[in-house]
Amino acid sequence: MRIAFALALFAALGSTSAPAQLALQIDARGTLAEVRVGDAIYLSDVAVTLVKPGWTGNLADQRAVDPATVRVHKAGRTTTYTMPLRGENLTAQLIERVTRDGDLVDVQYEVIPDQDVELETVLLQGSLATASHAGKTSYLVGGPTTSRGILPAELNDKNHILWSGDPEWLGFGLPGVGGLRVVPRDMGLQLQDDRKWNTPAFGLLATAGGGEHLARKPIRFALSLRAEAAGRLDDEVKQGALAGVSLVDDRPLALKNARIDRDRLEAFASITVDAEIEARYDNPFDPDQIAVDGEVATPAGKIVNVPGYFQTPFQLEAGRGGESLKVAGASGFRVRYTPTVAGPHQITIKVKDRSGEVRAKPLAFIVDASKTPGFVRVAAKSPRYFAFDDGASYFAIGENVCWGGGKAPMADYAAWFAGLGKAGGNWARLWLAFNEKGLEWMPAPTPKGGTGSYQGLGRYALDNAWRLDEVVHLAERNGVRLMFCIGTYGEFKDGGFFNEGSWVSNPYNAKNGGPCASPDDFWTNAEARKLYKQRLRYIIARWGCSPQVFAWEFWNEVQPTPAVEAWTAEMAAYLKQHDPNRHLVSTSYGSPAIWKDRNIDLSMTHMYGTAGATADFTAQIQRETHANLAFGKPYLLAEFGIDWQAGDEKWDPKGNGLNMHNGAWAALASGSAGTAMLWWWDGYVHPKNVYHVLTPVQAFAATIDWANTPFRPIERIEIVGDPSRTETFRDVTLAGSQSWGKTASNRYTALHDGTVKEGPVAVTLGSPKRGNANEVFSEVVWTLDMPQAGKVLVHLGEVCSGGRLRVALDGHEVLDRPLATGEPGKGPWKKSRLLEPWKVWVSDYDEAIPIDVPAGRHELTLANADGDWLQIRKLTLPSYRSSRHPEVDALGLAAVGRMILWVHNRQSTWRADFDGKSPEPQEKLTLHVPTTSQADWRVEWWDTFQGVVVQTDQVQPASGILRLTPPRFDRDLAARLTQKP
């Protein structure tokens, strides 16, 4: 049954063509059976589908709903459809509200699952019949990225995705007929040619709400539909974000004027010189065509060269559909410079094109001394920490905030930085990889489109550059320093767990006109390296003046091959040569060769658990930090989270923030130059207001003179419990700590204090038959000393393309189990995902396999003998942990006359909170801390949740040991020790 629902929309749209009529036909299930403008049916069969992970099928479909179960309610201009969605192990409620509001129809959707569910996406899909639209109908994309095209007459099998991204709107127009504008809210859109799957239609796919969803938590999204007069949509797309901006000049070289914005300023503030230039170029970003530079003479007579850049001013407009940018002035060339010393300066603008060079008259300006601390440097007296130019310490406290959350990225950053800064945070990491702050990517239409007016290789998105200017200003207002991560590994691959592979749209790809036939060519191709240096020049020119920029980071998680190491050395040297303010430089991932490079200033790693298997990261953070301190440079744990596959909100739905808390303090007390930087900023930290975790860290860190105190880790702090207690044993779970690759050893010893000797522990075991057999271990060996006989639980995780788990006890095989893989629901695994590029299944068994182990000392060998790889997420050892070893970690740093300690109850973990378990209080402990001083020490014990001192002690060492007695605590304490004169 269909319900005819015609809406006449008459609006003054500023066109000479008469407005068209929008009509909808909605069936008894709420499906938009037809969306018609005039005589043209633009969309049909628009309905909601819940898609299984990995696009392996549908969990539920609105089209399959029994009409008898649908409740319809009309109130004024709104008709509401409420219905059950049922599928495999799932029930949910779908609420659809259709409202006429003047000249538009608004359709709001709400999906409420009855139980926790993992989805690939919530899909709202409709179609355009090829018989009516192929080769005739235009599609137009409006918003930060604009695009236009004709729905193709024939299928292009290699480019069936016509457009994909997060637009302000998507429109369709047939010649002689009114157009249709579709405005999504909280959804991404994709337009594709379904003839690839033998369906005679073009598909419009709106996606929302992928990942893990909690029971009874609504997933909301909406779209509005509006009929438009002929030509209106095309006019808007033609204007776009860069309407009226010319990137070409063909006049003889001339420097007409150079205007400085002020002639007196304080050190670490910036001067801006705008130059009025005529020249011959068709790419203002190419310094071989036109190079604008400032030549600064300092009071000491030093000459500093400052690159200039081409820019366009914009104005931010916020409306119902989100934010948009409009050109707000004339484009032109600009030079910005930040002086670091007081005294008289001069700047001379010089311009060079292929015909020669011209110079302006010098512009003078006076620099006064400033109380501003300046740029962040490596501390000269304490080179594992940071300092400002004025010598004050800088301890990095923050999180990742890599991209905006939707259609209002500037509002997002304003809120995120306000929350971070108010809590005492001072550091954030940004990605500049084809999001709303990116510079260089393929313009739409492209399969992996970005946000912004991308121009292709060697040309930069001026709207995004303006946004990044504003992000820096927002950070400055909130006291946050920014790490600019310029690119990510996904630019050089296809597929990926998050579908992050984007090589298909990388402008360096030869198929897009770039110089690289393969991703590996990027690191060695001379033209690619030249073009990347050109981008670095632009970044230096535009943002190198800012003390708010903490560091340049080349890559996110690019594996350090020899070619990558050589490339990194070359680019780091380029930055140090051309950045007037010599910002810090780093990358990820690194290697010993990279970290030892004199132009790399700090080392970094990333750390995640898998599927919630790691309850406590303390030992892993300590181990990783100590390993990196060997390079003699500052170290940051720059990404951190409970689970690389799901946000911390999955494991901490109440927003207690205990994982973030423990990570921050463990990093501080291990010798990191900052906190462990949590990844999940938009779905966890901000919505659950977890910023408060950082406030006590800031209060404690502010009392330490990091820049002048060369701390070193205290190798061992002995913890002595209450000697009157009878020894007992309890179960202990030892989680794997390295998800991929070989660790230092494949032999591990489980100690009775609940720790592992010879860690970190490898999670993944590869078959000897896999393509790269040396990439991961094929077996690991555990040494156990069982207080009594029991069942050791081997926690099996994911298996890729089959496997064969073999378990041996003291050399005798006790288990030989083939492990198949396949589609979800077709085997003993809990769930499965398809690795698209290789067409292989990864099946998650999530199973605890019991192995009988007698009392006494034994070797337990775990091996994979077949297939590709499998995961051993953790071992649970029964009645193993001795009560004689308090369940407490003690981490510490020492320098002459100073110490820092963090004492942590191992029962205080995110996992215990998730399981509803409270930690047992720790009392009557004694810490034995080694010292070479015989002087008395003042000990301040800090509450790490309130950021206040709760007890002060005076302690005298005896026989080279400080015996400290911390106050009773439930979770953790910090201590600051000062040697008395």
Is 80 exceeded by the pLDDT of residue 890?
yes
Is 50 exceeded by the pLDDT of residue 8?
no
Same domain, 878 and 895: no
Q: How far apart are CA 438 and CA 24, in angstroms?
A: 39
Is 90 exceeded by the pLDDT of residue 205?
yes
Where do we find the tokens 């999530």? 846
Confidence of residue 428 (pLDDT cuts 50, 70, 90): very high
Q: Is residue 182, in this structure, part of any structural domain at all?
A: yes
Confidence of residue 321 (pLDDT cuts 50, 70, 90): low
Same domain, 875 and 889: no
Confidence of residue 165 (pLDDT cuts 50, 70, 90): confident
Where do we find the tokens 């920029």? 549
Question: For 526-551, what is the mean pLDDT?
Answer: 99
Yes or no: say if 446 and 455 are a contact pair by the CB < 8 Å rule.
Answer: no
Same domain, 287 and 346: yes
Same domain, 444 and 576: yes
Question: For 298-317, what is the mean pLDDT?
Answer: 97
Which pLDDT belongs to residue 11? 25
Which pLDDT belongs to residue 575? 99
Beta pairing, strands 386-388 & 840-853: unpaired
Domain CATH code at residue 926: 2.60.40.1180
- Kind plus residue range of the DSSP H or E element containing 465: helix 462-477
374 contact partners, CB below 8 Å, separation of at least 6: 267, 268, 340, 388, 389, 390, 547
pLDDT, tens only, 11-68: 222 333 445 689 999 999 999 999 999 889 999 999 999 999 888 899 999 999 999 9
Which pLDDT belongs to residue 6? 31
Q: Is residue 275, in this structure, part of any structural domain at all?
A: yes
Give the 3-state secondary structure percentages of the chain, helix then strand then coil, rounded to 5. 15, 45, 40
Yes or no: say if 436 and 350 are a contact pair by the CB < 8 Å rule.
Answer: no
Same domain, 876 and 899: no
Q: How far apart are CA 53 and CA 212, in angstroms?
A: 10
Which pLDDT belongs to residue 10? 22
66 contact partners, CB below 8 Å, separation of at least 6: none
pLDDT, the chain, mean: 93
Where do we find the tokens 């369709």? 172
Question: For 155-178, what is the mean pLDDT?
Answer: 83
Amino acid letter, residue 728: T
Confidence of residue 2 (pLDDT cuts 50, 70, 90): very low
Confidence of residue 758 (pLDDT cuts 50, 70, 90): confident
Yes or no: say if 202 and 236 are a contact pair by the CB < 8 Å rule.
Answer: no
- Kind plus residue range of the DSSP H or E element containing 657: none
Name the phi and psi angles at 105, rounded to 5: -115, 125
650's tokens = 């999955």
Same domain, 901 and 852: no
Same domain, 357 and 417: no
Which pLDDT belongs to residue 145? 65
Coil vs helix vs strand at 62? helix
Which pLDDT belongs to residue 243? 66
Strand partners, 640: 607, 678
Yes or no: say if 791 and 878 are a contact pair by the CB < 8 Å rule.
Answer: yes
Q: Is residue 559, in this structure, part of any structural domain at all?
A: yes
Q: Is residue 621, in this structure, part of any structural domain at all?
A: no
Q: How far apart are CA 661 and CA 651, in angstroms?
A: 14
Distances (CA, A) of 372 to 267, 396, 547: 8, 17, 10
Which pLDDT belongs to residue 434? 87
pLDDT, tens only, 460-493: 999 999 999 999 999 999 999 999 999 999 999 9
Which pLDDT belongs to residue 954? 97
Q: Given 344, 368, 392, which residue is the final one in a domain? A: 368
Q: Is residue 764, in this structure, part of any structural domain at all?
A: yes
Which pLDDT belongs to residue 7? 29
Yes or no: say if 515 and 438 are a contact pair by the CB < 8 Å rule.
Answer: no
Which pLDDT belongs to residue 161? 80
Domain CATH code at residue 280: 2.60.40.10
877's tokens = 């050892």
Q: Is residue 759, in this structure, part of any structural domain at all?
A: yes
Coil vs helix vs strand at 682? helix
Beta pairing, strands 201-208 & 481-488: unpaired
Question: For 184-194, what is the mean pLDDT?
Answer: 91
The 10 Å Cβ neighbour count of residue 153 is 10
Yes or no: say if 160 and 170 are a contact pair by the CB < 8 Å rule.
Answer: no
Q: Is 915 exposed, middle or buried (0-12, 13-18, 19+ CB in 10 A)?
A: exposed
Same domain, 77 and 192: yes
Q: How far apart are CA 719 and CA 37, in angstroms?
A: 77
Taking the CA of residue 637 as centre, how many other CA atoms within 13 Å lie in the half-sphere pointing to its CB?
30
Q: Is 82 exposed, middle or buried (0-12, 13-18, 19+ CB in 10 A)?
A: middle
More confident residue, 21 or 692: 692
12 contact partners, CB below 8 Å, separation of at least 6: none
- For the chain, percent of residues with pLDDT exceeding 90: 81
Which pLDDT belongs to residue 19? 52
Domain CATH code at residue 49: 2.70.98.10
pLDDT, tens only, 734-751: 999 888 889 889 999 999
Is 80 exceeded by the pLDDT of residue 284?
yes
Same domain, 30 and 107: yes
Is 50 exceeded by the pLDDT of residue 559?
yes
Same domain, 517 and 569: yes
- Which residue, among 95, 234, 92, 265, has the nearest Cα to 171 in the 3D structure? 234
The 10 Å Cβ neighbour count of residue 865 is 16
Torsion sign over Cα 383, 387, 389, 390? negative
Which pLDDT belongs to residue 757? 86
Is 80 exceeded by the pLDDT of residue 237?
no
Helix axes 462-477, 409-422, angle to 10 degrees: 20
Which pLDDT belongs to residue 826? 94
- Kind plus residue range of the DSSP H or E element containing 973: strand 972-979
Which pLDDT belongs to residue 443? 86
Q: How far apart are CA 772 and CA 777, in angstroms?
A: 11
Taking the CA of residue 735 as centre, how many other CA atoms within 13 Å lie in the half-sphere pointing to its CB?
19
Same domain, 20 and 90: yes
Yes or no: say if 151 and 135 are a contact pair by the CB < 8 Å rule.
Answer: yes
Q: Is residue 688, in this structure, part of any structural domain at all?
A: no
Count up the domains in the chain and report the number: 5
Domain CATH code at residue 519: 3.20.20.80
pTM: 0.76
Q: Given 582, 617, 632, which residue is the final one in a domain? A: 582
- Which residue, among 631, 630, 625, has the nearest Cα to 664 in the 3D structure? 625
383's tokens = 């080179």
Which pLDDT belongs to residue 441? 96
Maximum mean pLDDT: which of 14-28, 43-57, 586-600, 872-886: 586-600
Where do we find the tokens 């006494």? 856
Yes or no: say if 133 and 40 are a contact pair by the CB < 8 Å rule.
Answer: no
Beta pairing, strands 179-185 & 104-113: unpaired
Domain CATH code at residue 749: 2.60.120
932 contact partners, CB below 8 Å, separation of at least 6: 960
Q: Given 239, 274, 295, which residue is the final one in a domain? A: 239
Q: Is residue 616, in this structure, part of any structural domain at all?
A: no
- Which residue, among 885, 618, 919, has the nearest Cα to 753 in the 3D structure? 885
Which pLDDT belongs to residue 270? 98
Domain that holds residue 314: 249-368
Same domain, 258 and 209: no
Q: How far apart are CA 165 and CA 186, in angstroms?
A: 12
Strand partners, 905: 888
pLDDT, tens only, 644-683: 999 999 999 999 999 999 999 999 999 999 999 999 999 9
Which pLDDT belongs to residue 222? 95
Which pLDDT belongs to residue 419? 98
Distances (CA, A) of 756 to 52, 716, 747, 837: 38, 15, 10, 37
